[in-house]
Amino acid sequence: MATGKEDDTAKNGGGTPTAPASPTGSPTPEPTFSSVAPPPPPNPKDYISDPKKDRAPLTAEGLFPGRKLTMDGRPYTKGATSATANCAAVTQGGLGAVLKKNGCQKVLRATYVRDGVAVTVGVAVFPSEAAALKAKNQATGGIAPLTGAGVGDFCRATVCLRRSNAIGRYAYFTQAGFTNGKKVTTADRGVFRSSDDLGTFAFNQIYARGKSQASAAAGAPRQ
């Protein structure tokens, strides 16, 4: 719309241009960036090593879920499960004394079978990572075979394969043998493979417990 007035700004050679106003009439703020790096994600092993952090419920059915498991294409059927605070009562040989000496708080067991081989895996809970490692290193004897739920006696008055390991404040033990009572020899690769499978399964389940708790901590609002 013309007014007939001269544009003094244009006549005088122009002035300093101004930026158009923002829609709100206030200057647009510049983006800001924090110079503080985000904290690293929680380490799952921290949660299965420290009883103050390792607070999730712990049951035999939670640790050994379902009726079957498959390891590298090899299916296993689950038999009975159990949990007890009387750690020595579910052991053979000298393992009970080792668990008691190192402060064992609970043992959770499950038995799995495949192709005539039965494996009982026992997970012992300790008050610290150091105690679990000592129990693993001092282990003698073995975890007692757990029968029931379709699994008969095995590893009674015969030779079986016993193994032990530990992660965090958990030590885990396997007892593997033939369901027909045959003694295990070094040539019985199927027994060794089944022992490996159930040991790996126990490790994975314990680590998954730590991972789940670490993930929950990472997603919790900061105080």
pLDDT digits (tens, 9 = 90+) for 155-178: 999 999 999 999 999 999 999 999
Q: To the nearest 10°, the Cα dihedral for 55, 61, 67, 72?
A: 40
Q: Is residue 38 part of a domain?
A: no
The contacts found for 85-93 with CB under 8 angstroms, 24 or more apart, are: 87/124, 90/122, 90/143, 90/144, 90/146, 91/141, 91/142, 91/143, 91/144, 92/141, 92/142, 92/143, 92/144, 92/175, 93/140, 93/141, 93/142
What tokens does 126 get? 């300790």
- The string of DSSP letters for 168-185 reads TTEEEEEEEEETT-PPP-
Q: Which of 20-24, 27-31, 140-144, 213-217 has the lowest mean pLDDT?
A: 20-24
SS3 112: strand
DSSP state of 144: P
Q: Is residue 10 part of a domain?
A: no
Q: Is residue 103 part of a domain?
A: yes
Tell me the whole-structure pTM to 2 decimals: 0.81
Q: Is residue 180 part of a domain?
A: yes
pLDDT of residue 32: 61
Q: Is residue 113 part of a domain?
A: yes
Q: Is residue 152 part of a domain?
A: yes
Q: Which domain holds residue 81?
A: 45-217
Q: Is residue 151 part of a domain?
A: yes
Tens digit of pLDDT for each residue in 178-196? 999 999 999 999 999 999 9
Q: Is residue 76 part of a domain?
A: yes
pLDDT band at 219 (very low <50, low <70, confident <90, very high): confident
Domains contained in the chain, number: 1
